[in-house]
Structure 1
Amino acid sequence: MSLVEVVTNAMVGFVTSVPVNFAILPLFGAPVKLGASMGITLAFTVVSVVRSYLVRRFFAIHIKRFAHWCQDFHDGMRSLGSMT
């Protein structure tokens, strides 16, 4: 589901970004045609999808490990408290 969410978000971003690039880039001295604007946006969209997916997977994997560590730490502290 992470990939579905990331791709959906990227598609919405792509549809939004093409006209924005087409309008904004000429203001910075980079006049572009619609096809070029779509190409630029597509390149950034692909990078965004890969980046977002990898970040989500990283957190999905490591948050479980961190949660287990926290639980073990909590259990250890509770057992120390019951010794007194």
Structure 2
Amino acid sequence: MKQSRLMSLIESVANVVIGYGVAVITQILIFPIFGLHTTLAQNLKMGAIFTVVSIARSFALRRIFERLREKA
């Protein structure tokens, strides 16, 4: 059974939102262990940057694998 476009969109948005939250919480917990002390605003901004990079990476990999699939 194929996933509808709407469900694909909902899954993608949920993945990004949850990933952003996990990134920010991880930074808040892990950074102090390494002597890095940041404000909540800095953690939110870094989380946003990491999220954009992650989306770009995921998109590029999907396109590469789709191209490979088409050639096969």
- The question of a shared fold, defined as TM-score above 0.5 by the shorter chain, is answered with yes
Residue in 1 that maps onto 2:55: 49
Q: Decide whether the 8 Å contact of 1:7 with 1:49 is kept in 2.
A: no
Alpha-carbon distance between aligned partners in 2 of 1:64 and 1:6, rounded to the nearest angstrom: 23
| RMSD, aligned α-carbons | 1.9
Equivalent residue runs for 1:33-72 within 5 Å = 33-66=39-72
Q: Which moved more, 1:13-22 or 1:46-55?
A: 13-22
Q: Decide whether the 8 Å contact of 1:6 with 1:53 is kept in 2.
A: no
Identical aligned residues as a percent: 31
**1:23-70 deviation per Cα after TM superposition (whole angstroms, max 9, x unaligned):** 11011011011111111111111000001011001111221211xxxx
Alpha-carbon distance between aligned partners in 1 of 2:67 and 2:12, rounded to the nearest angstrom: 17
CA drift at 1:7:
4.5
Write 1 or 2 for the structure with the bigger share of helix: 1
- Give the TM-score normalised by the residue count of structure 2: 0.75
Residue in 1 that maps onto 2:20: 14
Q: Which runs of 5+ in 2 are unaligned?
A: none
In structure 1, what residue type is equivalent to 2:26? V
Question: Rg bigger for which structure?
Answer: 1
